[in-house]
Amino acid sequence: LMTTNGGVHILDIFDHYLSDFLLVIVGFAECICVGWAYPMAKLGREVERHTGVAYPRVFQVLVRFVTP
């Protein structure tokens, strides 16, 4: 199918839609892992250690419930 005259076009369609879908799935999985599997207290300490800014409590709610 990819060796026909329209094969490059079909390959481009597959590439476009599959890569976009995969990015959404990976982003969703990352939100779930950070929000639920990684302890929020540890995440707050890491953010404060790397940026020097305290991690607001409202971000815990955003990361766990709003983002996914």
Q: For residue range 5-41, what is the model confidence (pLDDT) as tens digits?
A: 788 888 888 888 888 888 889 988 888 888 888 888 8
Q: What is the DSSP letter of 18?
A: H
pLDDT at 49 over 90: yes
Distance CA 50, CA 30 (A): 20
Q: What's the whole-number mean pLDDT along residues 50-58?
A: 88
pLDDT at 1: 66
Residue 37: C-alpha distances to residues 23, 32, 42, 49, 62 (Å): 20, 7, 11, 20, 15
Hey, what are 27's tokens? 């982003």
Distance CA 68, CA 66 (A): 6
pLDDT at 67 over 80: no
pLDDT at 30: 86
